[in-house]
Amino acid sequence: MSMITRKIMSVIKDEILENLVKLEQKLHENGPENFTEQEKKEFWRVVGKIKRMDTPNKEYIEKAPAIREILHEDRFGKPVPLRYIMVPLALSALLLIIGNLIYMNDNENLLTAGIITYISYAIVFVVYFHILNIIFINKITTYSIISILSAIELIILHNYFPGFLRGLIIISVFGVVAVLYPHGRWISSKITNIKLDGAIRDIYFFITLKTDYKSYLSVSQKNRHWFFIIPGIGTLLTATIIGIYEWFYYDIYAFLIIALILMIAEIYSYIFDVGVWGGELGHARRERLILKDIKLQKSKIGS
């Protein structure tokens, strides 16, 4: 690296630290609720510069995540520890599948399939209430209310609306995609060495897992790219498999069509900018473009 290049990099680094300090001061002085959109854009612009560095300064990796933590918590709340989320969601997915298999093997065994499916629903509601911190009086009371309401609804549906209950059981399998999605991100975190802080809700109010931003900025850009690619592809595969399953066993095409629409939407968001509404592959697109910039910078320096 030439002397001129070193000086340029030094100026950029000083600018990054200066901007982070200013943004941090504004955030502490005015609070996250008064942190303007322009200031947020400036913060993410600085983060983009940090991502483009091979070995970011330790101060950047301390300050940038600290700012992001405050902004993130203000918008989505505090994360729930993973131990309260991952196993219940996996159990919920398993019960959804079991309930469906029971009904598939014996259409008359509606009550058993319905009970298992509703237990799964209750688990998901408990997890979801936990993440949104919707607790009435105390946790035991809240979860008891959910269980009682689920049982009453099950009895009503079984006695008076059996056709609707059958529909819920069939539809429930597609819920496997939603409840297994966080596991895709968990697997991705293990592969890419990016830590997770816990479970939160996303902008769609679905359950997702919050990244530990300090570890996120500490890994290579390639790892950041793959961190989103893995769960994105996992979700598409799960949706497609379930769509084919519903088509094969129930002769229902709707879920396969939904899976294809989801696939098109995700691939589109990986190729084109759709803003914050992109899924995992939409996030991966952002990291892919940064990775492309890094390679371009290295090729220029090399030449």
Lowest mean pLDDT segment, chosen from 151-160, 183-192, 204-213, 222-231: 151-160
Poorest-pLDDT segment among 9-13, 72-76, 252-256 = 9-13
Distance, in Å, from the CA atom of 28 to the CA atom of 25, rounded to the nearest integer, reads 5
Answer yes or no: are the C-beta atoms of 199 and 83 closer than 8 Å: no
pLDDT number for residue 269: 93
Report the first-to-last Cα separation within the chain, whole angstroms.
Answer: 11
Burial class of 239 by CB neighbour count within 10 A (0 to 12, 13 to 18, 19+) = buried
* CB-side neighbour CA atoms (13 Å) of 298: 9
Residues 278-297, mean pLDDT to the nearest whole number: 91
Look-up of token digits 């059981």: 169
Asked whether residue 250 carries a pLDDT value surpassing 50, the answer given is yes
Mean pLDDT across the stretch 172-191? 89
Q: What is the pLDDT of residue 11?
A: 47
Say if CB 46 and CB 23 are below 8 A apart: yes
Closest CA to 56 of 219, 290, 193, 225: 219
The residue extents of the domains of the chain are 3-76, 82-173, 176-302
- The total of other beta-carbon atoms located within 10 Å of residue 185's CB is 23
Q: What's residue 96's pLDDT?
A: 85
pLDDT, average across residues 161-187: 84
Tokens of 167: 């529909």
Instruction: Tell me the pTM.
Output: 0.84
> In terms of Cα–Cα distance, which of 118, 88, 87 is closest to 100?
118
- The count of C-alpha atoms lying within 13 angstroms of the C-alpha of 282, restricted to the half-sphere facing its C-beta, is 14
Confidence of residue 254 (pLDDT cuts 50, 70, 90): confident
What is the rounded average pLDDT of the residues 64-93? Answer: 91
Q: Which residues pair with 211 in a beta bridge?
A: 196
What's the mean pLDDT in 199-215?
A: 90
Interval 237-258 mean pLDDT: 84
Q: To which residue do tokens 């598409």 refer?
A: 236
pLDDT number for residue 195: 97
Does the pLDDT value for residue 64 go beyond 50? Answer: yes
DSSP-derived 3-state class of residue 247: helix
Q: Is the predicted pLDDT of residue 12 greater than 60, yes or no? A: no
Q: Is the pLDDT of residue 44 over 70?
A: yes
Q: Which residues contact 271 (CB under 8 A, 6 or more apart)?
A: 285
Q: Are the C-beta atoms of residues 85 and 123 closer than 8 Å to each other?
A: no
Place of tokens 């029971």: 102
Which residues are CB-contacts of 257 (< 8 A; sequence separation ≥ 6)? 243
Does the pLDDT at position 276 exceed 50? yes
pLDDT of residue 8: 47
Residue 175 in contact with residue 107, Cβ under 8 Å?
A: no
